Amino acid sequence: MSDSSHLVCPHCQAINRVPTARLDQKPNCGQCHRTLFTGHPVELTTSTFARHLDHNDIPLVVDFWAPWCGPCKMMAPAFVQAAAMLEPLVRVAKVNTDTEQALGTQYSIRSIPTLILFKDGHEVARQAGAMTKQDIVRWVRAH
Ligand SMILES: [Zn+2]
């Protein structure tokens, strides 16, 4: 990893440059001054997804889900806990495939929940089906 990392603010979408050594010191956004890591998955939409995909130097893991999906609801608390464990080395996000159907189509999401791990803007791994917190963390770290 280089000396500094670009991070997209989950609140105002500003691109921040953070010294890598300071990643785990709860860095704040230079623009809106809110924390860059909330311990919660960032809700991404069609308009914010590409920005987070292209401008985060850290890997991005996305939960593609829908409100009517039982297994998604079951996995949601585990995903939140996994987010707290994976930050700040991974950006954790969610996409509601009901409201953001274009993203579901773009990534050919056939079943939900589906987790996709992106690195440098490219998909490096994908996993369908509900997972426990331990499984999520293990799966992300394995890649
Ligand atoms: Zn901000």
- 56-76 pLDDT per residue, tens: 999 999 999 999 999 999 999
**Ion ligand 1 contact residues with beta carbon within 5 A:** 9, 11-12, 14, 29, 31-32
Q: How far is CA 76 from CA 20, 30, 99, in A?
A: 29, 30, 17
Q: What is the pLDDT of residue 70?
A: 97
Determine whether 69 is an active site residue. Answer: yes
Q: What is the pLDDT of residue 32?
A: 98
Q: What is the pLDDT of residue 87?
A: 97
Q: Assess whether pLDDT exceeds 80 at residue 98.
A: yes
Task: State mean pLDDT over 92-121.
Answer: 97
Q: What is the pLDDT of residue 31?
A: 98
Q: Assess whether pLDDT exceeds 60 at residue 1.
A: no
Q: What is the pLDDT of residue 2?
A: 74
Residue 46 Cα to ligand 1 middle (Å): 19
Residue 127 Cα to ligand 1 middle (Å): 30
**Helix extents (H) in the chain:** 46-55, 70-86, 101-106, 133-142
Task: State mean pLDDT over 7-32.
Answer: 96
Determine whether 72 is an active site residue. Answer: yes
Question: CA-to-CA distance for 31 and 34, rounded, in angstroms?
Answer: 8
Query: 69-73: long-range contacts at Cβ-Cβ below 8 A with a sequence spacing of 24 or more?
Result: 69/112, 69/113, 71/112, 71/113, 71/129, 71/130, 72/112, 72/113, 72/130
What is the spatial order of strands in the sheet that 122-128 belongs to? 42-43, 91-96, 60-65, 114-119, 122-128
Q: Which amino acid is at 114?
A: T
